[in-house]
DNA sequence: CGGCGGGTTGATCACTGTCAAGACCGGTGG
DNA sequence: CCACCGGTCTTGACAGTGATCAACCCGCCG
């Protein structure tokens, strides 16, 4: 079923730029509900960039692979997020993207999207809005990684994830951080052990609970206090 | 003179989306060659966002002001950069922008730009390209601030500034870092003293020279080696 | 001349990276 | 059903790095 009308995300996703009567023009060029299993790769670094991806469920990471084989995680993507926005200007992927656990996503060719934009100016407006939001997110991340204390960084990261997730499914207190400590550490510029210790601190203070990779936020305002002490 | 045809930046700036015959449509809505003196503010945090700014010479910083009055520097902007891209989605400025030293800039209303985009689809294409590049820059910055060692962060910052500047005026070895240590420290998530010490290290190693806020890069490959050791 | 802000340098201490060991969990195979 | 194994996560000990506080230098301006 390639019908976006029944998708819960359609209000904020690309279909928002179309009227009911013209939506078929988009559904014609999108491949919806593609499945990805744990570790499955959407695209590899330095390939030619053809598709824009939309996360429907699950989550993805994008990462740079260094010459020595180590990975730097550039972003974690949640349902509703677009993946690949930064690649379009050069036509080449700057990072790789892979699924964290089982995920569902949709995929549209950049080229065809560009064609539709010529016909439907509202699509360009939406694109610019989405890019602008992606930039805001990147700036929030910068705010996070420029914190001096490890606990602040982790706390801020949790607050940001909670906010992002809350926008889509209104579930701000349960975070399913489907990523390894390794990945999280690389993303925040910390050592894995420091992540563990910071978690312990947050748990002892009573603002979160944790079982494996599932985080339960108990006291958001306290968590925010941690995020801002620096 | 509001004529973009004689501007050195026109090849990469908004005029690139227009043909000679239609360029007047853009020059009609842009205020070119506005002057700003040291500390002069382009816009304040949480104002309604009306203009997009283009840096022509000098430089600007964008910054968040916290409740306690402290500033967090979100970005430094060089000639050729667009300022304000991230604000458009919400219609409200998320940060403040002020000039570092004497600068020249151009200014265009978002609303009128949106009108032109309807008529000139190439303008939307360019906008998306520019947004995509801005996202790449943000990701590079994340790479920078997620480095664990202070010297790596500073070195990487210098490499990035050099690269960005090189794109515009092909001058990659002379950096005029027209910002206070305080601002730089906030941007990189370090203490001012650590910035000073890291500079000393880079100077002692022979890859840069420095007089006040002027940086001369002597050995770019060595500087890159510092940037990548982490 | 004296004060002031910005920058550097030195000394100290807390924090975090590193290394090592142990705990936990899931999967496999007997 | 249980023992074993691998990977992931946590905890502990220690060392190195950077934040903090203080002193000093310098250029600028009244």
User: What are the φ/ψ torsions at residue A74 (nearest 5 degrees)?
Assistant: -85, -30
Residue A170's pLDDT is what?
Answer: 85
Cβ contacts (< 8 Å) between A124 and chain B: which residues?
Answer: 117, 121, 124, 127-128
Taking a C-beta distance cutoff of 8 angstroms, is the pair A195, A186 a contact? Answer: no
Residue A133's pLDDT is what?
Answer: 97
Cβ contacts (< 8 Å) between B186 and chain A: which residues?
Answer: 146
Which residues does B contribute to its contact with A (CB < 8 Å)? 64, 66, 72, 74-75, 85-90, 94-95, 114, 117-118, 121, 124-125, 127-136, 138-139, 141-143, 145-148, 186-191, 228
CB-nearest partner of A128 from B88, B90, B191 = B88
Measure in Å the smallest separation between the Cα of A133 and chain B Cα atoms. Answer: 6
pLDDT, average across residues A185-193? 97
d(CA A139, CA A148): 16
The nucleotide minimizing the C1' distance to residue B192's CA is C7
Cβ–Cβ gap A138/B133 under 8 Å: no
Q: Which of chain C's bases lie under 7 Å from a protein CB?
A: 6-11, 15-20, 25
CB-nearest partner of A138 from B124, B130, B135 = B135
| Token pair 């909670």: residue | A162
B196 touches strand C (CB under 7 A): yes
B199 touches strand C (CB under 7 A): yes
- The continuous run of DSSP H or E covering B201 comes out as helix B192-205
Residue B201's pLDDT is what?
Answer: 96
Write out pLDDT tens, residues A91-102: 999 999 999 999
Residue B2's pLDDT is what?
Answer: 59
Distance, Å, B193 CA → D20 C1': 10
Q: Which of chain D's bases lie under 7 Å from a protein CB?
A: 8-13, 17-22
DSSP E strands, A81-143: 82-83, 96-109
Q: Decide: pTM greater than 0.85.
A: yes
- Confidence band for A162, pLDDT divided at 50, 70 and 90: very high
Residue A2's pLDDT is what?
Answer: 59
| DSSP structural state of residue A40 | -
d(CA B90, CA B11): 29
Can you say whether the dihedral through the CA atoms of A70, A72, A76, A82 is positive or negative? negative
- The continuous run of DSSP H or E covering B214 comes out as strand B214-217
Q: What angle do CA B19, B21, B23 make, to 5 degrees?
A: 65
Which residue numbers in chain B have pLDDT < 50?
Answer: none
Cβ neighbours of B198 (radius 10 Å): 21
Q: Residue B39: name the closest of B57, B61, B55 by CA.
A: B61
Model confidence at A55: pLDDT above 90: yes
Residue B189's pLDDT is what?
Answer: 97
Cβ contacts (< 8 Å) between B194 and chain A: which residues?
Answer: none
CA atoms within 13 A on the CB side of A150: 18
A and B: number of Cβ contacts within 8 A:
128
B145 touches strand D (CB under 7 A): no
Cβ–Cβ gap A121/B118 under 8 Å: yes
Model confidence at A67: pLDDT above 90: no
Which tokens sit at B13?
A: 């700036």
Q: Tell me which of B75, B86, B119, B137 to substitute to probe the interface with A (most A C-beta atoms closer than 10 Å).
A: B86
Cβ–Cβ gap B146/A72 under 8 Å: yes
Residues recorded for chain B: 230
B169 touches strand C (CB under 7 A): no
Write out pLDDT tens, residues B44-70: 999 999 999 999 999 999 999 988 888
Cβ contacts (< 8 Å) between A125 and chain B: which residues?
Answer: 114, 117
Distance, Å, B211 CA → C7 C1': 12
The nucleotide minimizing the C1' distance to residue B183's CA is C6
Q: Name the closest residue on chain A to residue B74, using Cα atoms.
A: A139
Nearest-10 Cα torsion for B115, B120, B125, B129 = -70
Regarding beta strands A51-65 and A71-77, do their DSSP bridges make them parallel or antiparallel, or are they unpaired? antiparallel
Taking a C-beta distance cutoff of 8 angstroms, is the pair A36, A103 a contact? Answer: yes
Q: Name the closest residue on chain B to residue A152, using Cα atoms.
A: B189
Distance, Å, A191 CA → C17 C1': 7
């Amino acid at each position: 079923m390639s019908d976006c009308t029944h998708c819960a995300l359609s209000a904020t996703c690309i279909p928002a730029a179309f009227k009911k009567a013209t939506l078929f023009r988009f559904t014609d060029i999108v491949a919806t509900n593609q499945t990805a299993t744990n570790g499955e790769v959407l695209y590899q670094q330095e390939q030619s960039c053809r598709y824009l991806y939309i996360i429907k469920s699950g989550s993805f990471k994008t990462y740079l692979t260094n010459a020595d084989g180590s990975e730097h995680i550039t972003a974690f993507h949640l349902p509703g997020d677009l993946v690949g926005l930064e690649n379009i200007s050069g036509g080449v992927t700057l990072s790789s993207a892979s699924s964290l656990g089982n995920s569902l996503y949709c995929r549209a060719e950049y080229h065809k999207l560009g064609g539709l934009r010529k016909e439907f100016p509202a699509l360009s407006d939406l694109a610019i809005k989405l890019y602008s939001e992606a930039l805001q997110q990147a700036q929030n991340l910068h705010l996070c990684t420029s914190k001096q204390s490890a606990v602040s960084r982790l706390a801020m990261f949790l607050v940001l994830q909670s906010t992002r997730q809350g926008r889509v499914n209104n579930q701000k207190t349960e975070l399913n951080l489907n990523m390894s400590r390794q990945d999280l550490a690389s993303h925040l510029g910390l050592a894995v052990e420091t992540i563990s210790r910071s978690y312990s601190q947050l748990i002892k203070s009573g603002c979160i609970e944790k079982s494996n990779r599932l985080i339960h936020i108990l006291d958001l305002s306290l968590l925010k206090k941690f995020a801002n002490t620096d």
